[in-house]
Structure 1
Amino acid sequence: MAASRLGLRAAGLAPMAASPAARPFSSTSQCARDSNIRKQVGRMYQNVTDQPSPRLQSAKQLQSLSQTNSAAVAMLFPGTFVRPPLSKFPRNAGPFFRFAYDAVKSWGTDIVQSLIVNLSSKPSFFKRALWKPKTALAVLSAKALHRSMSEAIAAGDKNTINKICVTKLAVPLLASIDTRPKSVRYSWELVRYNKTWRYPRVLSRKISPITREPGSPFVRQLVVAIASRQHMVKYDDSAKGQGRIIPGSEKEVDLVENVVITCTVDRNTWAQDEWRIFGTLKPTLAEDWEVEKHLLESLEAEEMSKHKV
């Protein structure tokens, strides 16, 4: 059993940058527009049942957040762009460069949003920001969580799964453990990390308030690509099997997994709670991204029209 594969594939859409012709920019208005667009994505999706991209499905979840700790953050940020390998880029020159531009733009938007939040945490202009991204530590957390979760799935350790996974991910993982044959024992081992000169690396970083309400906490999300070699095997612990390896179950594979971790940040104290695993993502494909981009552009145009004088 490929224990490290989470079995859940989520995705969504990202708020587009505001038009230069819109009203003057501020961090408060930017966060408010981002939050409102995410809500509209969820409402619009209910009427968009014929869209081919499964990544749009997670937009519905953005309407139902009632808790604010990391365990309850069962959403993926709109516009989470996971850059695929060049072999997955469009072949023709025009679509290739458009897709490459969107990848760079998405990365730049993520950086700007992080800087906005950092500046908004400053008590005053000449004082240091209270919130710091500490991305390097977050990447280490992603590696540790990825390993702990894979080991816990193999061992059937429900307590660890509940502790390190968001509820939406933990529930089906726990259900899959309960349905396993009692006589089968699973083992997972991290053999080594691969291509350490390139991995792990951050593919997406986002932060935005959950709602437009004053004091609403921020949700922070990182997508970290992790390359590793993993060893998986199943044992027959029945009286007949006597703990022997089940034939054909032993595998050693090289994987690159885009692990999504999430946490919340208190807007008053700027304290961040523990990182948790949200799931894994497939690389973003050009055809799916075009559907999402057009939907968000129409939503942003509708939102901006409300603020015109």
Structure 2
Amino acid sequence: MSRFFEARALTHGLLSVVMELHGVAGKPITDAGHSLAARAGSGKATHHKFDRRRSRHVITIGQKMVEDKMTKASASLWLSAKEIMRHGFFGGDLTPPKLLAHTVLHEYAHALQTVRGERLRGSVHNPEFYSILRQLHTDHGAMVLASVEEAFRQRQIDTGFRPEPTLRETPPPARGPQTPFAARINSQRFAPGDAVAFEHKGETITATVTRVNDKTISIESGSIKGRISPSLARPADPADVPSAPKPESTARPTFRPRQKVWFNHKNRPVHGEVTRCNRETVSVRALLDGRNWRVPYSLLNAA
């Protein structure tokens, strides 16, 4: 069986494992009046989303993610591998079934985190999330791993890592003189810092290239930032490009340990005490129930 068909077969097997886990661990979700579904994606995207209008959680399992985690060189780059090693899940051992079983538990933990109201903007993989994930591993990790290994066996797929695909060297195709059209669609003719011009609503806009993407170029003109197709841009005189505005001060509020603070959660104030100041967030212990929070600086207020 080819890698493609192995990954596709296992992706659909993992959907059944998600629903099996929901059957034994989903009481908090059903008690909240929510439903849960699992779907297969064709790419690497593997995530949990909550549809508030339908009160439905959707866990997507990406087929290319499955293929990646079956290949040792790429598997070690995923957050799943880092979490297994860092927290000692499954004994810290990396195998394709353990990586995929952890993926199921990780995404389901996000569903439980959302139901508990502990998924904050800018603070998703927070201490509360890892507390839920550790409990899921303790209560259901062995069952999920056994189900994933059974999915391998049923589809007659070896549980070991696949070798990295071998790339064949092929001579580059012969290229004739580049036509004007080919030149227009070649985004590589631009580089960060280049001055470009393009037409927008009957006006000529001059801008600076800040990044070259796969199919677009990112540009900045004064306070305007965006992406455009390279086919719409042409080289411009650098002297005509307005200089980028000086960045506004990014000074953030300062807090100190034991300082009394408050923030809003679900439109209600939570009062607490600073326990630690991190790079992007502040660790706060709630005064009412002792719960620990990690709150972005921008959402925190001095009491």
Place the TM-score, normalised by the shorter chain, in its bin: under 0.3
- Greater strand share, structure number: 2
Larger radius of gyration: 2
Q: Which has the higher contact order (CA 8 A, sep 6+)?
A: 1
**TM-score normalised according to structure 2 size:** 0.21
